[in-house]
Amino acid sequence: MDDDALTIIDERTESSYDVPLLDGGALRAMDLRKIKTRSEDFGLMSYDPAFMNTASCRSAITFIDGDKGILRYRGYPIEELAEKCGFLEVAYLILFGELPTAQELDAWVRDITRHTMLHETTKKFLEGFSLQAHPMGMFISTVAALSTIYPDARNVLNPESRQLQVRRLIGKVPTIAAYTYRHSLGYPYVYPDNELSYSANFMNMLWRMVEPRYQANPVIARALDVLFILHADHEQNCSTNTMRAVGSSQADPFVCTAAAAAALSGPLHGGANEQVLKMLDEIGSKDRVPAYVDKVKAGHGKLMGFGHRVYKNYDPRARIIKQTADSVFKITGGNPKLEIALELERVALEDEYFVSRKLYPNVDFYSGIIYQAMGIPTEMFTVMFAIPRTVGWLAQWQEMIEDPEQKIARPRQIYVGHGKREFVSIEKRSSHAVAA
């Protein structure tokens, strides 16, 4: 039999179907529809809650081998990109498919920095939030609000318009992120300084006070660049899937990015970095690690920053983040939480529960410890994730729009509710205590 096809025998009807295999390993779910017991049947569907084994697209952006712990953007290993590139260089690679020449990179950096300013009304919009508002809630809403400032962004089928919105979003997300931070503190917003690199300018917008020009520490700026590179894309994760799903209705990229950021904010996804720090605080000291691990094994909570749908090996990003932590701690002084985190990793990786389930530290396990050492508050951690991930979301959104096979994303369901029922008038209904 052909390696590129599968023969399915339906024992109910004794019919046989040849089903082609896509790219050597996937069958098209629509081919299952041919499998019927009677001609008027709907045909077979696949059932896959949480997309455990369903590819929703063919993508050329990011490759992950979760068993081997491999991550590549456009074919380049993450380790090399993190060591040798700047963030905007990697952003260019992710978006356009190739590493830029020096000239292309200059033009690209110029393009992005042209778009770092926010419309003044956006500041007023942010002022409406309470000082206690979570920065991620402010970030999501403000990104969505940009859609009202750039109505031309609705022109999603126009490649030039798409390019403009991509530049706007990548330029503006650090400014929005920094403004949410300044807002929480009641500090005045700091305008972007376009002479600085992407990361150094972000530091400027976070931390400049009365000095005429912000001097970014180059080690911290480089560490931020590395963290941004590591977070830039991760194929079809929950937030990227959201970006594609919302984008498939041809909504504009600002609201799509806001929706993706909303998906990122959950504690099982990008919100995990915030939860890791809360967990380390709760553990409190190294000697209390074994008791905490026992509690998790007994079913009380999860080890935040551990486990991954795709990685069943050490997350390569976690390894690079650990190395980056050393350079940051030389400048900032250590973070006592690191000791607890290292002990937690050691205990978990020797424990049968975590070993048998292939649960390893993921990207979120160490990132928060570095951010905290830099002076970034815990509530900002997921916003720090959203800044670089905007690049991945936009690249995936573009790929989706340009893919002739993609249509509005609309899954099927298996209906398990009532069959047709007789209507009951209100005076004859009995209470089922469904509503409070």
Would you name the residues annotated as active-site residues? 269, 308, 364
Q: Which amino acid is at 265?
A: S
Among 307, 316, 368, 388, binds ligand ACO (CB under 6 A): 307
Contacts 24+ apart (CB under 8 A), 149-157: 149/119, 149/121, 149/122, 150/252, 150/254, 153/252, 153/253, 153/254, 154/252, 156/247, 156/250, 156/251, 156/252, 156/253, 156/401, 157/250, 157/401
- Residue pair 92/105 in contact (Cβ under 8 Å)? The answer is yes
Question: Under the criterion CB under 6 A, does residue 389 sit at the interface with ligand ACO?
Answer: no
Question: Under the criterion CB under 6 A, does residue 305 sit at the interface with ligand ACO?
Answer: yes
Among 119, 286, 309, 312, binds ligand ACO (CB under 6 A): 309
**Contact stretch for ligand ACO (CB under 6 A) within 10-18, 116-124, 267-275, 333-341:** 267-275
Residue 167 or 308: the one with the smaller Cβ distance to ligand ACO is 308
Residue 97 or 266: the one with the smaller Cβ distance to ligand ACO is 266
The interface mask with ligand ACO, positions 224-243, x = CB under 6 A, is: -------------x------
Residue 225 or 364: the one with the smaller Cβ distance to ligand ACO is 364
**Contact stretch for ligand ACO (CB under 6 A) within 2-10, 33-41, 212-220, 303-311:** 303-311
Structure-token pair, residue 11: 């024992």
Among 228, 306, 381, 393, binds ligand ACO (CB under 6 A): 306
The interface mask with ligand ACO, positions 62-101, x = CB under 6 A, is: ----------------------------------------
Beta-ladder partners of 361? 306
Structure-token pair, residue 388: 């670089």
Per CB under 6 A, which of residues 332..371 are in contact with ligand ACO? 357, 359, 362-364
Would you give the DSSP letter of residue 187?
Answer: P
Residue 172 or 308: the one with the smaller Cβ distance to ligand ACO is 308
Minimum gap (Å) between residue 383 Cβ and ligand ACO: 14
Minimum gap (Å) between residue 167 Cβ and ligand ACO: 25
Residue number with the shortest CB distance to ligand ACO? 307
Quote the distance between the C-alpha of residue 52 and its chain's center: 17
The interface mask with ligand ACO, positions 183-222, x = CB under 6 A, is: ----------------------------------------
Residue 196 or 261: the one with the smaller Cβ distance to ligand ACO is 261
**DSSP track, 419-431:** -S-----GGGPPP
Among 268, 281, 285, 411, binds ligand ACO (CB under 6 A): 268
Beta-ladder partners of 21? 27
Residue 165 or 362: the one with the smaller Cβ distance to ligand ACO is 362
- Show the beta-strand stretches assigned E in 76-233: 76-77
The enclosing H or E element of 163 equals helix 159-185
Minimum gap (Å) between residue 364 Cβ and ligand ACO: 5
First to last CA, the chain: 60
Beta-ladder partners of 5? 20
- Residue pair 173/166 in contact (Cβ under 8 Å)? The answer is no
Among 302, 327, 329, 347, binds ligand ACO (CB under 6 A): 302
Minimum gap (Å) between residue 265 Cβ and ligand ACO: 11
Among 144, 303, 370, 386, binds ligand ACO (CB under 6 A): 303
**Contact stretch for ligand ACO (CB under 6 A) within 107-115, 157-165, 302-310, 425-433:** 302-310
Q: Which amino acid is at 244?
A: R
Minimum gap (Å) between residue 292 Cβ and ligand ACO: 11
Size of site (CB under 6 A) for ligand ACO: 19
Residue 185 or 268: the one with the smaller Cβ distance to ligand ACO is 268
Closest CA to 222 of 247, 256, 197, 190: 197
Q: Can you give 230-287 as a three-state secondary structure string?
A: HCCCCCCCHHHHHHHHHHCCCCCHHHHHHHHHHHHCCCCCCCHHHHHHHHHHHHCCHH
Q: Count Cα atoms within 13 angstroms, Cβ side, for 32.
A: 8
Minimum gap (Å) between residue 2 Cβ and ligand ACO: 33
- Residue pair 57/406 in contact (Cβ under 8 Å)? The answer is yes
Beta-ladder partners of 8? 17
Helix, strand or coil for residue 8? Answer: strand
Residue 31 or 274: the one with the smaller Cβ distance to ligand ACO is 274
Applying CB under 6 A, the residues found at the interface with ligand ACO are 237, 268-270, 272, 296, 302-309, 357, 359, 362-364
